[in-house]
A = this chain, B = another copy of it.
Amino acid sequence: MKDMTDIPAMMTEIGERARAASRTLAIAPTGARSASLHAAADRIDAQTDAIVAANTLDMEAGTAKGLSSAMLDRLRLDPDRIRGIASALRAVAEQSDPVGEILAAWSMPSGIDIERVRTPIGVVGVIYESRPNVTADAGALCLRSGNAVILRGGSESFHSSRAIHECLVAGLATAGLPQDAIQLVPTRDRAAVTEMLGMTEFIDVIVPRGGKGLVGAVQRDARVPVFAHLEGIVHIYVDRAADPQKALDVVLNSKTRRTGICGAAECLLIHRDVAETLGADLVRALQAAGVEVRGDPALQQIENVRPAEDDDWGREYLDSIIAARIVPDLDAAMDHIGRHGSNHTDCILTEDADAAARFFEEVDSAIVLHNASTQFADGGEFGMGAEIGIATGRLHARGPVGAEQLTSFKYRVRGNGSVRA
């Protein structure tokens, strides 16, 4: 590795190694990639103490730096969480291999047979914040899909990520795969991120995982294509034809099952015809479950509803808070979602099939739901296995990004001396 003070040279070397490794990976057998992940999982189990020790360094630095308790909790690793990381690796190892899958096959009257077959993308760059488990999850998904990966973790999780990364590399070595297939940027210098964003020659796509600040900065500055993972500004529209019991079940689950995930509901839109009946019941049920409701003037008539400010619309709380507003009709609800949503996940509660159909058609989000909890917005719940996140863009990947979404394809054409007329 070059002098770490020369970040551009260092990153170019990492990029060249990743590109070279990606060529080997693209033709490596499924079995080797699976074996590598199993070996990495075993290594993580065996290295639990060392990983905890590395994490302790990060936790001490984070505490000294005054990180919030939520951030410290995301950062923290204990033997139980480390077992979870290892078992996630094994789960990815057991997932079916997308590479080489024949997506379609057909013959043309001209005499040629055509196949569309999945291929790796090449080199993926993952830029994430302080969750150390992303090191393992993202590394594993990229390997499962035949891609080399350059990981740039948050500086707060520097030691933890390095300890986990060492296990992934040990797994690659055991399986006879190039160790450069999973590289971790070995510096906390932000200049390394700037370099990554411009490395069009060596990185095919960048996946930013983290808050609005990180993702926005990556989108703004990247020359490399980005699978944007914007925050989940998740809306639930309670139609006038909503079933009250379903509405209560779905709204409570959507907001309270886990408040810190991107599929958690952040805003409730209530049709005015049911505002004083079902709407009021929903607000009180949320409050009874410990949720702070920030409502528009009409909803402020309900006890303990706090006034919503302008910036409560379109806000991702990731906490026990929900914004709530009364709307005159479905169009107004969809208009609100269009203005304030993040094209992530939005839900309609109704027994009116026409209203549901219009919502499905017109709301431009990766995931639209009808009478189902927004917390289903998750690759695992979709049956896709592990995911790297929920993409909110409209190109290539959209919705849960698992191994399949990290692939490309090519056309294989077979003839028998066939020529074009």
A413 at the interface (CB under 8 A from B): yes
Given the complex, which residues of B lie within 8 Å of A157, measured CB to CB?
none
Given the interface pairs A381-B420, A394-B204, A420-B376, the reply to whether A414 lies near B370 with Cβ below 8 Å is yes
A257 at the interface (CB under 8 A from B): yes
Is the pair A376, B112 in contact by a Cβ cutoff of 8 Å?
Answer: yes
Is the pair A420, B257 in contact by a Cβ cutoff of 8 Å?
Answer: yes
Copies per complex of this chain: 2
Given the complex, which residues of B lie within 8 Å of A253, measured CB to CB?
419-420
Which of A6-14, A242-250, A313-321 makes up part of the contact surface?
Answer: A242-250
Given the interface pairs A225-B225, A413-B367, A413-B368, the reply to whether A376 lies near B110 with Cβ below 8 Å is yes
A355-390 at interface with B (beta carbon < 8 Å): 360-362, 364-373, 375-376, 378, 381-383
Interface residues of A, count at CB 8 A:
60
**B-contacting residues of A (Cβ < 8 Å)?**
26-27, 106, 108, 110-112, 114, 119, 121-122, 204-205, 225, 243, 245-246, 249-250, 252-254, 257, 360-362, 364-373, 375-376, 378, 381-383, 394-396, 398-399, 408-420
Q: List 23 A-B contacts (CB under 8 A).
A: A108-B381, A110-B376, A110-B381, A112-B372, A112-B376, A119-B394, A204-B394, A243-B417, A250-B418, A257-B420, A364-B410, A365-B410, A366-B410, A367-B411, A368-B410, A368-B411, A370-B414, A371-B416, A371-B417, A372-B416, A373-B419, A373-B420, A399-B410
